[in-house]
Structures are given as C-alpha cells and as structure tokens.
Amino acid sequence: MTMGKLVVCTSHSPGMERDKEAVQGLGFRAGLKEARRIVTEFDPDCVLVVAGDHRRAFREVVPAFAVALSAGVMAEAGWPQADLDVPGPMARDLAEHLLAADFDVSVCRDVLLDHAFAQPLRVLLGGLDALPVIPVAVNCATPPLPRAARVLALGHAMAEFLDRQDGRVLIIGSGGLSHSPPSLEVEAHDLDDEERARLIAEGHAAARRKIRPEWDEALLHALATLDEQELAELVDNATEQAGVGGNEVRTWLAAAAAGGGALTPLAYEAVPDWITGMGVAVSKH
C-alpha cells in the first residue's frame, strides 16, 4: 500500500518566468517556497502532474483526459526542450485502471508539453529530471470542456489507483486561478507562435483587469472544505466568472480528489503583470 500522498496545487504563469529579478508576486513566491519545503520534507518517490494544455500539445485532437506514457517539455521561455522521466508501465497501469473505471481516457506517447507541466516541476522539485513523472492532461482550454463533477470523479478514480502503489506520491495540480489569456479567448486552435505572441501583446492591458479575487477566494474556500457542490458551481461557470483561464482549476479539483482530502491555502496574490490570480495550496499529510 502507498506510504502517503501529498497534494500541491499551484498557479503557473509565463509572467513569473519573465520576472527575472523576482520583484513581483512576493506573497505568492513565499507560498511556493513553503510548498517546496513541504515537498522536500515529504520526500516523494514519484510525481503525478495534472495540468492543462494551452492548445499547443493538443490541437486537432483534444482529449478530455489523457495519460502520457512518454513525454517531454517543449523549448519555451529560454528553457531548452527536455525529456521527462515517465515510468511507462505505471502510467499504462493508471490508464488501464481509468478505462476499467469507465473513463474513456486517451493515452499519448512522445508528447511535448508546455509550462503548465514544466513550471511546477522546476519550482517545487528543482528540475524536470528530479523524479519519475506521470503527466495527466485535462482539457481546460478547448470547448467543450469536461464538467467539474466528471473531473472530480476522475480524481477519485486516480486515488483508488494511487492507494495501491508503494511509496510516497506527490500529486501536483497546475493552473488557474482567475485569468483570461488573449490567446485562449479566440476560438482558433491552430495559432502559430507569431500570431499567439501578437494576440498576447495586444491583449495584455485588458487581461491585467480580468483577475477576479472574489472568485479565487471562493474557490480556495471551497477547496479548503472540499465542498464538491460549490466547486462544481464555481468551475462550471468559470469562463463567465473568472475568465477562460479560470477553467484550468479543473486540475486542482482532480488533484484534490486524487489526494483524498481538502487543501490548505498557503498564499494568494493577484499579480496584474502576470494577468493572473496566483495561488498555492497543499493537503495535509
């Protein structure tokens, strides 16, 4: 039987990468530092990362849920392309468990993932190669999106699988909180990097004003009590209430359910230059 599970859910943002001097988001960064201390103390044997995709890995075919049997991260924000150490047999066992639990989960091989997966691994573990990693993708960007209740059910099914594994498992939920990236506000699924950059630059001023701290705080409170009814209400209406990027908190729901418990917020801060409400929360372990 597993020796324990730790959940860390955290926002990600390319803006944090661009802030080379680390002068913004100091409250959020302090929360991340504490989360890293908790992870180090927990000393995990492997990692399951639940994250979304910014219409980069999945474009023409967009699975609601996917388990990567092998994967890397794309070159981005000055970081080079790199491989992830995916334990293929364990990842396949997870996929087969989810299929047996009536989830039509997809599997993918040699997929290149973006900062949604890479940033929390670098911040919480110090690098992409620190531990074996199973990436689980949840569609948070390209409608139609899976309903919150289904995402929670996926998390519960992953909990059943993880509870049968040996060792300590770190579960990371990556995304959110409220934000509305200009490149995701358009319906186009086939933007090239130049067009994506143009949309982001032209829409940045407006995106700064689309953070919704009230919604973020309501979500964090619902996670702290694991109120699934309230979580479903907030998440299923995220586009209208928290911007298209708010849909990424589906990853938090799946991670919390996989961990089997409520999450305690460590920090929350709206960072306009990063166009995002930045939060980090952890489970008790």
CB 253 within 8 A of CB 155: yes
Q: How far apart are CA 281 and CA 203, in angstroms?
A: 29
- φ/ψ of 169, rounded to 5, equals -115, 125
Q: How far apart are CA 213 and CA 226, in angstroms?
A: 19
Buried b (16+ CB within 10 A) or exposed e, 226-263: bebeebbebbbebbebbbbbbbbbbbbbbbbbbbbebb
Nearest CA-CA partner of 71 in 36, 144, 32, 121: 121
Catalytic residues: 115, 179
Number of C-beta neighbours around residue 64 at 10 A = 19
**Residues in Cβ contact with 225 at an 8 Å cutoff, skipping those fewer than 6 apart:** 262
Q: What share of the chain is helix, strand, coil (3-state, %, to 5)?
A: 45, 20, 35
Q: In which residue are the tokens 């911007």 written?
A: 243
Q: How far apart are CA 95 and CA 65, in angstroms?
A: 10
CB 71 within 8 A of CB 137: no
